[in-house]
Amino acid sequence: MRSVTRWGIGFRAMLKPIAHHKQAGARACVAVVASEYNGEFVEGMLSAALTTLAEAGVKRVRVIRVPGAFEIPVAVATLTKAKRRRPEAVICLGVILRGKTAHADHVGQTVSSLLGQIAVDSGIPVIHEVLLLDNASQAKTRCLGKRHNRGIEAAQTALTMREVMRSL
């Protein structure tokens, strides 16, 4: 995959092979908010994310389950405002499959907008892996595969952003 440089920042193409993250240490605190809807796919990402965090030495992981993707932002907002047990990063996992109406697009846009706003307002990295996909085949590739599992990528991004925020 080739890197594209924009504003001095290197970007890699999507669906890149997954690299391992360095040890984060037991003091890291990460929350995962995961949708129950489209459970098979979300479970695949959740399992991969939890394994990646454990391999990085993270011992404080809080998993919060919500009914669907639309409910993820309110749980994230509540977590980021908490006085106690406030996470250093929040991973959001969900799968929205497009149907015959525009409903999925509306949900996806709303969730994306709210998660971005929560991250900026709280100063806590909110890792957005609420995927809006066309079909189950795309979900299978991104959520159940070992080579491109978005759960692994989400956990790695959370760990990287934790370090970035600590360095600022």
Which residue is it, tokens 């846009």? 109
Residue 95 CB-half CA count within 13 A: 27
Q: Quick check: 144 and 93 in contact, CB under 8 A?
A: no
Q: How far does Cα 21 stand from its chain's mean position?
A: 15
Catalytic residue among 21, 103, 128, 148: 103
User: How many angstroms separate the CA atoms of 3 and 67, rounded?
Assistant: 37
38-55: burial string, b at 16+ Cβ within 10 Å, e else: beebbbbbbebbbebbee
> Is 103 known to be catalytic?
yes
Catalytic residue numbers read: 103
